């Protein structure tokens, strides 16, 4: 089973996978009902209006809102949904946890209880509550299907104490120039970093135009020669300066790793003050393969 946000994404997945797997569309049907049917996609019905739009044209999933207040059938709508779905084959009944990144958050248990209560109205349907972080809370949250999204890309999706997962994405960029810098010299826009002693630095062809977040200025690092090389000063549009003092591997053309096995996704996200999802989606579609290697 696969999950996409939109029918357009679902159609691409269907073309890639062929007829066998079930492909769910999380945003549900709007004016794309015919496209959903043509690609044999399974919509996730989030509202009474979407249930009506689908009109039992085939299997569907039902999303119940248990406390996220984002998408899904609300508790007051459940009796109406049960009646409206009597002719629809439910492939899945699902919900989504709001605070699963904090495994101790009280809302998790509240949502679990609400989901169990609501799902009793649909006793024959398989159940799914947990995505990556929710699956790590414990077996009570697993039901029939877990939905590991960002976990497949190397993030545990927790606020702290993430498990070590294999990296699925690597971002590397080449050194363009290496230079020796005297004490008192500054680096990059705004001169935000000053050399306290003689240093050797490298300028690397990567920046926020490629999806490397500016918030990693002075906080992130690249990996070269088996060690972390701190970013000096601000990340600019397509250039980063790193400290390569004492690194024999620092030569023009050498590739520096900024995300991957040695620069874990969860750690980079924490340094950037954001979620691992943003790190991955910001890179997606922006990294220039001529200047960086994805």
Residue 11 sits at the vertex; the CA angle it makes with 9 and 15, to the nearest 5 degrees, is 120
Per DSSP, helices labelled H in 18-162 are: 33-38, 48-54, 78-84, 106-119, 132-137
Plot region of 258 (φ>0 → left; ψ -120 to 50 → alpha; else → beta): alpha
- Dist CA 294 CA 287 (whole Å): 7
As a whole number, mean pLDDT of residues 249-258 equals 98
For 170-218, write each residue's pLDDT tens digit. Answer: 999 999 999 999 999 999 999 999 999 999 999 999 999 999 999 999 9
For 124-153, write each residue's pLDDT tens digit. Answer: 999 999 999 999 999 999 999 999 999 999
How distant, in Å, are the alpha carbons of 14, 72, 76, 85, 117 from that of 51?
A: 23, 11, 15, 7, 21
Whether residue 260 contacts residue 268, with contact meaning beta carbons closer than 8 Å, is answered with: no
- Dist CA 259 CA 274 (whole Å): 15
Confidence of residue 283 (pLDDT cuts 50, 70, 90): confident
**Structural domains of the chain ordered from first start:** 2-148 (3.20.20.10), 171-283 (2.40.37.10)
Q: Give yes or no for residue 294 having a pLDDT over 60.
A: no
How distant, in Å, are the alpha carbons of 71, 172, 203, 285 from that of 209?
A: 32, 14, 16, 11
How distant, in Å, are the alpha carbons of 28, 77, 82, 147 from that of 74?
A: 16, 5, 12, 21
């Amino acid at each position: 089973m696969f999950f996409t946000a939109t029918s357009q994404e679902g159609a691409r997945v269907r073309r890639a996978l062929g007829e066998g797997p079930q492909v769910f569309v999380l945003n549900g049907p709007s004016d794309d009902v015919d496209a959903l049917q043509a690609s044999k996609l399974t919509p996730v019905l989030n509202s009474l209006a979407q249930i009506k739009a689908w009109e039992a044209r085939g299997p569907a999933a039902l999303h119940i809102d248990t406390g996220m207040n984002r998408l899904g059938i609300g508790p007051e709508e459940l009796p109406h949904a049960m009646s409206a779905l009597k002719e629809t084959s439910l492939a899945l009944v699902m919900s989504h946890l709001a605070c699963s990144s904090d495994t101790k958050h009280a809302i998790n248990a509240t949502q679990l209880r609400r989901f169990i209560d609501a799902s009793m109205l649909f006793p024959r349907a398989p159940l799914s509550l947990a995505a990556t972080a929710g699956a790590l809370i414990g077996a009570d949250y697993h039901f029939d299907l877990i939905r590991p999204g960002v976990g497949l890309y190397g993030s545990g999706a927790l606020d702290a104490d993430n498990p070590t997962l294999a990296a699925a994405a690597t971002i590397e960029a080449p050194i363009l120039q290496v230079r020796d810098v005297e004490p008192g010299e500054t680096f990059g826009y705004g001169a935000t970093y000053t050399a306290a002693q003689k240093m050797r630095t490298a300028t690397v062809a990567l920046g926020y135009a490629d999806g490397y977040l500016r918030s990693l200025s002075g906080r992130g690092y690249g990996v070269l020669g088996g060690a972390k090389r701190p970013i000096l000063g601000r990340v600019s549009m397509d250039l980063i300066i790193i400290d390569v003092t004492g690194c024999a591997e620092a030569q023009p053309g050498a590739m520096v790793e900024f995300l991957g096995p040695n620069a874990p996704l969860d750690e980079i996200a924490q340094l950037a003050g954001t979620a691992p999802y943003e790190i991955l989606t910001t890179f997606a579609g922006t990294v220039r393969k001529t200047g960086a290697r994805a």
